[in-house]
Amino acid sequence: MFKKTLALAALAVAFSASAQENVLNLYSARHYQTDEALYENFTKATGIKINRVDSDDAGILARLKAEGAASPADVILLVDAARLYRGEVDGLFKPVKSKVLEDAIPAQYRAPATPEGTSWFGFSTRARVIVYDKVKVKREDVDTYEKLADPRNKGKVCIRSGSHPYNLSLFGAVTQHLGEQKAEQWLKGVVANLARDPKGGDTDQIKAVGAGECQIAVSNTYYIARLLRSNNPEDKALMERVSVSFPNQASWGTHLNIAGGAVAKNAKHPEAAVKFLEYLASPQAQEYFANGNNEWPTAKGVKVKNPALQAMSGGGDFKAETIPLAAVGANTVKVQQMLDRVGFK
């Protein structure tokens, strides 16, 4: 009887462990409703249930630090290269070795490999482009990021807060290309050209161009694609008034930021976590990033079929910068200091 009780107890423990392996705890900064299908498809394919906690990038990193070894998080999804870099530097991610991920994701869209593995992988990109009033502004006056600081554009520029992660990453990239001294002078010129103090999100900047508050704005491409795909008459009228410039096609290329993922340092289900990241690199998931949230896939060989992305980029082909995004993240502390010095709010 005693042996039988022990055997039953062992089976119960084994069953409990097995059941726990069919759970994945996800901390996500991807606040896009269209991602629900991604998670559902993963569960259908693997039987692994996803428990999700939503927050912004900064909130997730702060939570991981506060929870420490007690954190239940298995996978972290963030939407900015600088924050992925910060999570890596702060030791919040568990490096992983996965041939699937290494074969699928180009080196420029993932953390530098170490003997322990790779800390994070980018699964989708969004270009940071220039939107302009096509009646009042010539394309050649907005065909580079440098021209945002050109005196010819004085009083014409709208942009969200310089300290927002999307801008910190853009400015970090410009710093990587121009060097610190020239980048700071450029930021000073951008401030001098502002039509109003920075406020609102990217969609607000595009609408400000449509309303005549400014003539030039900076935006991530997926915001533009949403407006292009909208059935709202006001959105249609707005997008008929503006054009989109992919800057620096004749030099280093347009800046790309990424949304990416990592296994949490204290993941309780590390195998399921790696399986989830590998799923995000699959053609099915990558195509969903493109069609569901208007992002460009990072995985090799995946073609974009989203008509809005193709329309704004002239068929889908444009020159993108090739600097490592980890280097962009490393520049953000310097950039914030520059912003403070030039009075960029």
Give phi and psi for 171, each to the nearest 5: -65, -30
Are 156 and 215 contacting, i.e. CB atoms less than 8 angstroms apart?
yes
Can you give the C-alpha Rg of the chain in angstroms? Answer: 22
For 122-191, the DSSP string reads EEEEEEEEEEEETTTS-GGGSSSSGGGGSGGGTT-EE---TTSHHHHHHHHHHHHHH-HHHHHHHHHHHH
- Does the annotation list 145 as a binding residue? no
Q: Is 288 annotated as a binding residue?
A: no
CB 239, CB 228: distance < 8 Å? yes
Contact at 8 Å (CB) between 132 and 142?
A: yes
Amino acid at the residue 105: I
| Separation between Cα atoms, residue 33 and residue 207, nearest integer Å | 23
223 is in an annotated binding site: yes
Cα distance from N-terminal residue to C-terminal residue, the chain: 74
Residues annotated in a binding site: 31, 222-223
Residues annotated in a binding site for Fe cation: 31, 222-223
